[in-house]
Structure 1
Amino acid sequence: MSKPKKPVIEYRHYSLPIDFPVLLLSGERWKISDIKSEHLHFHNHMEIGICYSDGGVMEIKGENVPFRAGDVTFLPRYLPHTTYSSPNKASRWAYLFFSPEELFQQVIKTPHTNMEPNLRAIQASRCVLHKDQYPKVYTLATSIVEEIQHQSPFYRESAYGLLMSLYIELLRIHANDENGVNREQELQSRQPDLVISPALEFITKNYMLPVTIDELAELCHLSTTHFRRKFHEIMGTTPLDFLNSTRVEEACKRLKSTDASVLSISEQVGFRSISSFNRCFARLMVESPKAWRTGAHMEAQSAKASILAFTGWV
């Protein structure tokens, strides 16, 4: 008897605007087809989705969770999933992408607060929340979308406050799930859903530190050779190239939002020499850091391609 195929997992990278790091994808373009993708995918930022029409199924952690109009979905970064509509339907969505650390770190200062839910403890069924059961979540999510779409005076301040309230509500929901995880469940889910997620989390939070491939492999409990192969299989690039692209993307933000020198920024994001920073920056951004800083870039051009259209969308 042949072994079942392992699901292919795709990485989808989204760049956030510099001046207000929240990305909204909405409108008629964002309709999900009824054809199930052969691939799971995950994102580099937290995703909040709002289903406006029809229904379908979201596959999360090996579970098929139904959704319908009025549902709000809440997916931490690095959580593989896929979504497809009911037969002969094309559900319409709006999506918000953001980084809790970037937005709320200076405001939410409770000691030892986890800014994202524990992927091992998260329940697939609680990633899809219906407005009848969670009316506050639905009202907050739709209000954020309306603020960003209409852009009335002070819309950013309003959207920020609403997003913080929404995020706290979602953290409370998942905190209850995490507290309810027993020892048996913990043992069953010791391995994360995405085997390289510990390395991705480490790079996301510690890109500015010296790091070796051996250390990243150890975090994932893999041999260095297996880790390199698995990382490239999932991410489509090497661990070192992903680390450097993360550093360059952060450098782009600092070049636009601060007056720090190019040398200082290169050191802040983890490059050991200005020459290696300039070389890596030019390779990814197709111009020097100085030229990029003085150019008419309204937001951070990604050091990794932003994916706005892909399999499964109408």
Structure 2
Amino acid sequence: MPRKKKPVIEYRHYSLPIQFPVLLLSGDRWRISDIKSEHLHFHNHLEIGICYSDSGIMEIKGEAVPFKAGDITFLPRFLPHTTYSSKDSASLWSYLFFSPEELFQHSFKSAYSSFEPNLWRVQGRNCVLSKEQHPKVYYLATSIVEELKEQRPYYQESAYGLLQSLYIELLRIYSANELLIEQEGDQSLKGEFVISPALEYITKHYMTPITIDFLAELCHLSTTHFRRKFHEIMGTAPLDFLTSTRIEEACKQLKSTDDSILSISEQVGFHSISSFNRCFSRLMGASPKEWRKSAQSEAQSAKASILEFTGWV
């Protein structure tokens, strides 16, 4: 009997705007085909989806979850999934991407450390919320999209307040899962989700020293198995992913601050300026000084070069 083919996992990396770190993908091009993709994919930010028409299936954690017009979906970072519409239809969507801890860190202060729920451990069906059962969630999500599309005066301030309210509703809805997680105990994640704790840790603690042994322990894997599984899913080695994350953060600082290159290199976790310059030039194709000068005039994004380097789709 032939072995079951393993799914291909695509990492879709989105660079958020510096001034207002929320990305909206909207318009007629965001129609989902009725052809099921052979690839699962995941993102580097929280994804909120709004389905405006038709119906279909979203596959999450190996579970086929139906959706229909009026549903709102919430998918955490690093959760592999795919979406396809019902036969002979093409559902229309808008998507919002943002990182709650980055967007709300000054608003929530003491609550910040426990702010983001561990959504990847909930059942897939709980990631889809209907308009009928959660009318407030639907109203807030659609209002955010309209604010970002119309860009009337003070739209960023309005969108920020609406996003904050929406995220609080999300926390309330999923608060019951905290008890469920405690009852189930600290169980290892399976399949494509097994490296999620490592990805999450790198995203939050990239500026600190991190070893592969520590990341493997987080995922309840041996170091050898962790290396192999990480490369299988991400298409790159754990330390290369860590370096890419640090360089992306350095790009943000180079574009948005006047901090010295030495200071930025230390802020993102490099302990020598020579190592930082070498890694930056290898990933971005230019020195930090040259890249900063070019970015100021061309609004250059870190996304393309990092994706090209790692081979992520």
TM-score, normalised with respect to structure 1: 0.91
1:305 aligns with 307
SS of residue paired to 2:79:
coil
Identity level (%): 70
CA-based RMSD = 2.1
Task: Please say if residues 122 and 178 of structure 1, whose CA atoms lie closer than 8 Å, have aligned partners that are also in contact.
Answer: no
Aligned residue number for residue 191 of structure 1: 189
Runs of at least 4 residues off by over 3 Å: 1-8, 110-113
**Which residues of 2 match residues 235-246 of structure 1 at below 5 A?**
235-246=234-245
Give distance in 2, aligned partners of 1:281 and 1:191: 33
Shift of 1:221: 1.9
In 2, distance between residues paired with 1:31 and 1:159?
24
Which structure is higher in RCO with an 8 Å CA cutoff and minimum separation 6?
1
Q: Provide the residue aligned with 1:64 in structure 2.
A: 64
1:86-113 deviation digits (Å, cap 9, x = unpaired): 0011111110010011101121134475
The answer to whether residue 46 in structure 2 is matched with residue 46 in structure 1 is yes
Task: Indicate conservation of the 8 Å contact 2:131/2:137, yes or no.
Answer: yes
Counterparts of 2:182 and 2:286, CA distance in 1: 52
- C-alpha change, 1:173 and 1:110, in structure 2 (3 Å) is farther
- Within 1, Cα distance between the matches of 2:22 and 2:292? 21
Stretch moving more, 6-15 or 200-209: 6-15
Is contact 1:76–1:116 with CA below 8 Å preserved after alignment? no
TM (norm. structure 2) is: 0.91
Cα pair distance change 1:113/1:266, threshold 3 Å: closer
Q: Is the 8 A contact 1:48 1:72 kept in 2?
A: yes
Cα pair 1:120 1:186 within 8 Å, conserved: no
The number of residue pairs the alignment matches comes to 306
Residue 79 of structure 1, CA deviation: 1.4
> Match of 1:80?
80
SS of the residue corresponding to residue 228 of structure 2 reads: helix
| Alignment gaps of 5+ in structure 1 | none
Residue 191 of structure 1 aligns with an amino acid whose one-letter code is L
Contact 2:53 2:91 in 1 (8 A): yes
Q: Does 1:265 align with 2:264?
A: yes
- Greater helix fraction, Structure 1 or Structure 2: 2
Cα deviation for residue 154 of structure 1 reads 1.1
Cα deviation code 1:126-158 (max 9, x no counterpart): 211111111111111111111111111111111
One-letter amino acid of the counterpart of residue 50, structure 1: I
Maintained 8 Å contact 1:35/1:85: yes
The aligned residue for residue 230 of structure 2 is 231
Q: CA deviation at 1:182?
A: 6.5
- What is residue 31 of structure 1 aligned with on the other side? 31
- For residue 180 of structure 1, report the CA deviation from its aligned partner: 4.1
Post-superposition shift, 1:2? 5.6
Q: Does structure 2 retain, via aligned residues, the 8 Å contact 1:137–1:166? A: yes
**1:9-47 Cα distance to aligned partner (Å, 9 max, x none):** 322211111111111111111111111112222111100
Name the CA shift for 1:266/1:288 in 2 (closer, same or farther; >3 Å).
same
Q: Could you tell which deviates more after superposition, 145-154 or 293-302?
A: 293-302
1:281–1:289 CA contact under 8 A, matched in 2: yes
Contact 2:31/2:93 (8 A) holds in 1: yes
Q: Which residue of 2 aligns with 1:253?
A: 252
